[in-house]
Amino acid sequence: MKPTSKMPTQLGTTSQQIESITELREQIRLRASELYEQRGREDGHDLQDWYQAESEMTPKKVKTVSA
């Protein structure tokens, strides 16, 4: 057998994927802003608000364990 020299294919990002990511980030930003407003605009919790919003907006992966 001859060795083949194939170049690995790069994972491309389509414009549709970029739009989806941009939309998701905007939804997270809006939710984080809502959390900030609900707290009475108290500073110092920006990362906490972002992470909470991100966890609410990002689908969770379910792990299953087989016995």
Q: How far apart, in whole angstroms, are the C-alpha atoms of residue 56 and residue 47? A: 14
The pLDDT-based confidence of 52 (bands split at 50, 70, 90) is very high
pLDDT at 30: 96
Q: What is the mean pLDDT of residues 11-34?
A: 88
In 3-state terms, the chain is what percent helix, strand and coil (to 5)? 55, 0, 45
**53 or 13, which is more confident?**
53
For residue 41, pLDDT over 70 is answered with yes
- Torsional sign, CA 42, 48, 36, 46: positive
Q: How far apart, in whole angstroms, are the C-alpha atoms of residue 63 and residue 23? A: 26
- Predicted TM-score (pTM) of the model is 0.65
Q: Spell out the residues 6+ positions from residue 65 whose beta carbon is closer than 8 angstroms to its own.
A: none
